Structures are given as C-alpha cells and as structure tokens.
Structure 1
Amino acid sequence: MTEELDTFYLELIVLACETSQNDVYMHGYLEIRLNNKKPYAEGDIIDISEFYESIDADGEFKIFSCCCGIPECSGWIRGIQVVHLENNRIKWTNLNSGQSWTFQKHLLVDALQQVDEEVENFKKFFTQKDIEYVGYGS
C-alpha cells in the first residue's frame, strides 16, 4: 500500500508599494498552500529564516507568524514540527492544531528555485523601469 502524499505549492506574490515620499518600489512575499489551502491565517506571513532553516533540519520552527513579526500575536504559540523522513519526504505537524502534512521535499526545493529565478527576472525588469524591487522576506 502506498501512502498518499499531500501537495505542496509555493508562490511568489509581487505588490507595488509606495513610500511617504511617493516613491514606488516592488515587494514580494511567499505564499504556501498544502492541499490547495493556506496552513496559516490570511493576515499571517512566512518567517523566511525559519522556513529556510526547516528545509534541511528537524525540529520545531515558527514558519508562520503574525504580520507584526510576533508569531504568538496571531495564535502561533507553538510552531511547525518538521521531520525529514525516508524517501526524500518532509512531515510538517502544526503543534497548535495537530494537523499534519507529508510531502516530497523536491516540491519545496524546486518551487524555491523557481521563485529565486522569478525574483532575478523581476529585479532585471524593474531595474529597467527605474523601480526598486526588494525581493521577498525583506
């Protein structure tokens, strides 16, 4: 019997932002969906450093956080328990709700590589338009 794996999807969302001096810059953020649903609230963000650290390490990571940067502010009292399994799989367990997902690691790694390529393309494009693009997680 084959274990059914969850789907992992990562997307780069790019927005235009305006400073108080009416300067425009572009900013990106990452969105994660597991089985086509975000495992965090609409106003929450992905903590990029925790997310990147969890790619190769086991442990509890506060991958998701309130937009203010304090995970507990939006109910993330505990983080995501990350376990790297056999056959290049990763298991995430939300230690607050008990919900868990198991997916192929290459889905995450491939998606990050694609996002990094998109970031470079956006930087080149916006530089030609004299608009700053700050990437994601800034």
Structure 2
Amino acid sequence: MDKPLDTFYLELVVTACQMREDNIWMQGDLEIRFNTEKPYADSDIINTEEFYNSIYSDGEFEIFSCCCGVPECSGWIKGIKVSHIDNKYIKWINLNTGKTWLFEKKRLEEGLKEIEEEVENYKKFFKEKGIDYVGYGY
C-alpha cells in the first residue's frame, strides 16, 4: 500500500433531549474520527443506514448529511466512495474534496461491537430510571 493507514475511531455520544417539560429522553449519536479529526462538520450527522450499507459493499454512499437530513444542505453534493481491499482494509474518498482515508476494517467492526454493547447498557440503565433511550441513528 502506498498510503499509511489512518486510525479509525467510532464513538457514541449520549445527550439529553427535550421537546417539552414533560417530554425528555436520551439520544445517542455516532461520531467518526480519522486520526484526530472528524471528516464532517460539527453540524452534520452520520446517516447510519448508509454507513452500515458501506461496511461490506463498494460504491458511493451518503454517509454524512446535514442535520436536517438533506446532504446537499451542508455541502455534501457527492458522497463517499467506499472500496474494500482484500477484506482487510476500507478506503474512503470524499468525492467533494478528494480527501482519502485508508483504515482497517477490523477497527470499524470492533468499534461497532463496542457501540452496540454501550447502547444495550444505556438502554438498561435509563429504563431502570424511567427514562426513554432511543439509541442512535435517524
């Protein structure tokens, strides 16, 4: 490989949300970082359906989007080109900027497993407190 591997981080960020005084719940959001940087703006979201679809398939995916749900709203005119290499590595190319990341597929899969375990722990914890926890994704 001609490019060194990027370090892939996946994190679950849990926050309290409120619509009215009597309507409060906890919500999880995924965050992705390569090395130390997020490949998307702080106001953007991860489209979890597209993200999950990209884990085992090559193609162009709208992994990132504006928080309103319309990728173009925050400048995501094109998606992320995803290529799987030898079933060991994943290469992402931001088709808007040309930025490229190459990382171990195993790190992504391990990160997702840890996130799923965290989600189950949060669900159990908040249920005992009588608080709804909606997991992550939109």
Same fold (TM over 0.5): yes
Please state how far the C-alpha of 1:87 moved relative to its aligned partner.
5.4
* 1:6 pairs with 2:16: no
> For 1:27, what is the secondary structure of its paired residue?
strand
* 1:127 pairs with 2:131: no
Counterpart in the other structure of 1:54: 54
Deviations 1:68-118 (A, max 9, x none): 000000000000000000251000000000000000001111000000000
C-alpha separation between the residues in 1 aligned to 2:58 and 2:25?
36
User: TM-score with structure 2 length normalisation?
Assistant: 0.96
Moved beyond 4 Å, runs of 4+: none
C-alpha separation between the residues in 2 aligned to 1:10 and 1:75?
23
- Structure 1 residue runs of 5 or longer lacking an equivalent are none
Counterpart in the other structure of 1:118: 118
Deviations 1:37-70 (A, max 9, x none): 0000110000000000000000000100000000
Contact 2:87 2:105 in 1 (8 A): no
Percent of pairs identical after alignment?
Answer: 59
User: TM-score with structure 1 length normalisation?
Assistant: 0.96
Counterpart in the other structure of 1:18: 18
Counterpart in the other structure of 1:29: 29
Please state how far the C-alpha of 1:19 moved relative to its aligned partner.
2.3
C-alpha separation between the residues in 2 aligned to 1:29 and 1:55?
18
Please state how far the C-alpha of 1:3 moved relative to its aligned partner.
5.0
Q: Aligned pair count? A: 138
Q: 1:119/1:35 Cα in 2 relative to 1: closer, same or farther (>3 Å)?
A: same
C-alpha separation between the residues in 2 aligned to 1:122 and 1:84?
32
- Structure 2 residue runs of 5 or longer lacking an equivalent are none
Counterpart in the other structure of 1:93: 93
C-alpha separation between the residues in 2 aligned to 1:35 and 1:97?
18
* 1:75 pairs with 2:75: yes
